[in-house]
Amino acid sequence: MKSRTGPPTLMPAVALAALGAVVAIPTLSSSRLYAAPPSRYAVVTVHRGDNLWSIAERVTPRGENVQDTVDTIAAANHIDDGDITPGQRIRIPR
């Protein structure tokens, strides 16, 4: 029997790639992607004398924690230092 002594072929790599496609395509096509629900905001204009705490007190439901609302408002508006200015419009997550 004669052994083959030539350059290696790409046939094993092609066969492996085809097998991978046969397995991956049905798996990927049956998966579902879920997005987060859209966030809803009310927009409030800051008035003279307002601060995050006073705005949070106005919008926090009775019995809820005002500090949690302050933290949520600050995060939604990328406010790190708590500084807000009159005329500024801030988003209040609902």
Fold of 41-93: Membrane-bound Lytic Murein Transglycosylase D; Chain A (3.10.350)
Q: SS in 3 state form for the chain?
A: CCCCCCCCCCHHHHHHHHHHHHHHHHHHHHCCCCCCCCCCEEEEECCCCCCHHHHHHHHCCCCCCHHHHHHHHHHHCCCCCCCCCCCCEEEEEC
Q: Which two tokens stand for residue 72?
A: 């949520």
Does the model's pTM come out above 0.95? Answer: no
| pLDDT at 4 exceeding the cut of 70 | no
pLDDT digits (tens, 9 = 90+) for 32-87: 667 777 789 999 999 999 999 999 999 999 999 999 999 999 999 999 998 999 99
Q: Where are the domains of the chain?
A: 41-93
